[in-house]
């Protein structure tokens, strides 16, 4: 149980319901991100689902990450989707047959399961460490040993993954991760990317049929067709380059420094540093990782915007900051190592009318995009709704920054949102209405973590 949390009536039922959601989406050694809308293994979903699973069975949790890393590319990249070979082709678009990664991308795995050529925020070292920690808290000797073996086994893959992000995805050596597609950010249609996407010129490409709209009540909950045209065009370019990192870094039309992925990487490097001690890695690894942490924090500091009191993404193509008030601006809370002054300013922004201080909110939970943004939309995916993954990331960050009462509030409000609305993918910020997919795996995983 988290320090200071008194169990509430109904907690036990909620725990059992969360467990049932994860059991239903369990594919044996990996978990579908959602029952219908997302029938494959998604990278950052699985990295965080492992934390929830650890409360049920640390060995199954370790397996979640192990399965994902079996599809790690030769250059260290952990793919954003590992496609389930048994899922019918029409169950998700774009699926394996659209990416056709077999043989087309020299660094990709050559045998099924096939993967997309993109990646997602690197939460995996954080997930792996939590799996081991939770196993230690549970105190079952055999499982503690097994999760320690898991850390030993996964450590080289984690190190290679972080190295890929800090070399191929940061050839400039800024500590900031470059992404090549909004899908890589995990916050697909966020206004964070509007400016950079507008500049992408779409060329000739085959027609396509979306599958996602069949699984939501209302199309306004998903990205628009215009968004999808750009998403698919960027996939065409990446395929044409055969995912050659040198070509991508020189001429891909969408190249942005993503502050959220960069902060998550700093956090993951802090956790990787702990893992490296646990597994007795060479001192030189620890020095490398510690250098990555300082570099990442400096990079984030360079993205600070005094007017917004937030950190802003940067368009590598135009060299300009991408001005949008979204939760990603709070990234320095996640990467830590902040001055008291910076922390105070970020918390002030969080409390301001742009975020938690907006009186229209159903609950004081951070909306993905500020309601004061011109492009805010309360139902549209990453353009406004409240996401449990956002609340979980901020909750953990606040705990680590020594803000237990703020963290606790976020936790209780989030649990309350799920108690009323169910295990939704996201929630309308002014009404709390559940939106997107129901029975979303990571929502259930966060509930298990919050209740323990």
Is residue 44 near ligand 2M8 by the rule CB under 6 A? yes
* Nearer to ligand 2M8 (CB atom), residue 355 or residue 442: 442
- Asked whether the bond before 113 is cis by omega within 30 degrees of 0, the reply is yes
**Strands, E assignment, 361-442:** 426-427, 434-435
* Six-digit token string for 39: 């029938």
The residue from 186, 367, 378, 421 that contacts ligand 2M8 (CB under 6 A) is: 186
In Å, how far from its chain's centre is CA 36?
20
From the CA atom positions of the chain, what is the Rg in Å? 20
Active site residue 145: no
Q: Which is the catalytic residue, given 64, 107, 184, 188?
A: 188
Find the shortest distance in angstroms from Cβ 426 to ligand 2M8. 8
Q: Which is nearer to ligand 2M8, 109 or 186 (CB)?
A: 186
Per CB under 6 A, the list member of 38, 73, 292, 327 interacting with ligand 2M8 is 38
Q: What is the C-alpha to C-alpha distance for residues 447 and 24, in angstroms, rounded to an integer?
A: 16
Nearest CB to ligand 2M8, comparing residues 113 and 186? 186
* Distance between CA atoms of residues 137 and 449, nearest Å: 13
Q: What is the C-alpha separation between 126 and 400, in angstroms, rounded?
A: 13
On the 0-12 / 13-18 / 19+ scale of CB atoms within 10 A, 434 is buried
Considering the complex, state which of residue 186 and residue 421 has its C-beta at the smaller distance from ligand 2M8: 186
Q: Within a 13 Å sphere around the CA of 262, how many CA atoms are in the beta-carbon half?
A: 33
Which among 22-30, 169-177, 183-191, 396-404 is the span making contact with ligand 2M8, rule CB under 6 A?
A: 183-191
Distances, alpha carbon 238 to alpha carbons 246, 316, 318, in Å: 12, 17, 20
Stretch 248-277 residues interacting with ligand 2M8 (CB under 6 A): none
Answer whether 385's CB lies under 8 Å from 378's CB.
yes
The verdict on 403 binding ligand 2M8 (CB under 6 A) reads no
**Binding status of residue 188 toward ligand 2M8 by CB under 6 A:** yes
Token pair of 400, please?
A: 């680590």
- What is the nearest approach in angstroms of ligand 2M8 to the Cβ of residue 86? 18
The alpha helices in 168-258, defined as continuous H runs, are 182-185, 194-198, 225-240, 245-251
Residue 340 designated active-site: no
Residue with Cβ nearer ligand 2M8 (46 or 174): 46
Nearest residue relative to ligand 2M8 (C-beta):
186
8-37 residues near ligand 2M8, rule: CB under 6 A: 33
Minimum Å gap between C-beta 44 and ligand 2M8 is 5
Name which of 437, 314, 436, 449 is nearest 384 in CA terms.
Answer: 436
Picking from 43, 61, 63, the residue whose alpha carbon sits closest to that of residue 124 is 43
The reply to whether 45 sits near ligand 2M8 by the rule CB under 6 A is yes
Q: How far is the CB of 202 from ligand 2M8 (least distance, A)?
A: 19
What is the nearest approach in angstroms of ligand 2M8 to the Cβ of residue 40? Answer: 9
Residue 42 interacts with ligand 2M8 (CB under 6 A): yes or no:
yes
Catalytic residues: 188, 425
List residues near ligand 2M8 by CB under 6 A. 33, 38, 42, 44-45, 80, 183, 186, 188, 212
């Amino acid at each position: 149980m988290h320090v200071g949390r008194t169990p509430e009536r109904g907690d036990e039922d909620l725990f059992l319901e969360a467990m049932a959601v994860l059991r239903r989406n369990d594919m044996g050694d990996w978990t579908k991100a959602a029952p219908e809308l997302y029938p494959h293994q998604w990278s950052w979903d699985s990295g965080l689902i492992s934390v929830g699973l650890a409360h049920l069975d640390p060995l199954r949790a370790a397996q979640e990450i192990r399965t994902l890393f079996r599809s790690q590319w030769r250059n260290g990249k952990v793919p954003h989707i590992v496609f389930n070979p048994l899922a019918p082709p029409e169950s998700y678009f774009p699926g394996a047959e659209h990416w056709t990664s077999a043989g087309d991308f020299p660094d990709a795995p050559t045998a099924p399961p096939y993967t997309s050529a993109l990646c997602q925020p690197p939460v995996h070292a954080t997930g792996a460490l939590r799996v081991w920690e939770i196993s230690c808290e549970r105190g079952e000797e055999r499982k503690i040993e097994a999760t320690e073996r898991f850390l030993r086994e996964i450590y080289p893959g984690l190190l290679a993954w972080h190295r890929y992000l800090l070399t191929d995805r940061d050839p400039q050596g800024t500590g900031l991760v470059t992404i090549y597609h909004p899908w890589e950010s995990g916050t697909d249609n966020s206004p964070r990317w509007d400016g950079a996407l507008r500049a992408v010129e779409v060329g000739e490409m085959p027609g396509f049929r979306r599958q996602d709209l069949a699984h939501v009540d209302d199309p306004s909950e998903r990205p628009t067709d215009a968004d999808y045209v750009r998403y698919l065009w960027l996939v065409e370019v990446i395929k044409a380059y055969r995912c050659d990192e040198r070509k991508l870094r020189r001429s891909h039309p969408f190249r942005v420094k993503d502050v959220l992925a960069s902060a998550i990487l700093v956090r993951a490097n802090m956790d990787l540093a702990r893992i490296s001690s646990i597994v007795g890695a060479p001192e030189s690894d620890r020095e490398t990782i510690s250098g990555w942490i300082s570099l990442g924090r400096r990079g984030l500091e360079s993205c600070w915007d005094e007017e917004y009191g937030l950190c802003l993404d940067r368009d590598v193509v135009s060299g300009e900051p991408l001005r949008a008030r979204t939760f990603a601006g709070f990234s320095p809370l996640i990467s830590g190592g902040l001055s008291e002054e910076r922390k105070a300013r970020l918390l002030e922004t969080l409390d301001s009318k742009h975020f938690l201080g907006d009186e229209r909110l159903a609950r004081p939970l951070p909306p993905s995009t500020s309601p004061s943004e011109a492009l805010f939309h309360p139902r549209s995916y990453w353009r406004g709704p409240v996401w449990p993954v956002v609340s979980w990331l901020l909750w953990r960050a606040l705990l680590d920054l020594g803000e237990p009462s703020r963290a606790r509030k976020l936790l209780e409000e989030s649990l309350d949102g799920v108690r009323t609305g169910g295990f939704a993918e996201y929630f309308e910020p002014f009404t709390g209405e559940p939106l997107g997919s129901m029975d979303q795996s990571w929502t259930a995983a966060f509930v298990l973590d919050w209740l323990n």
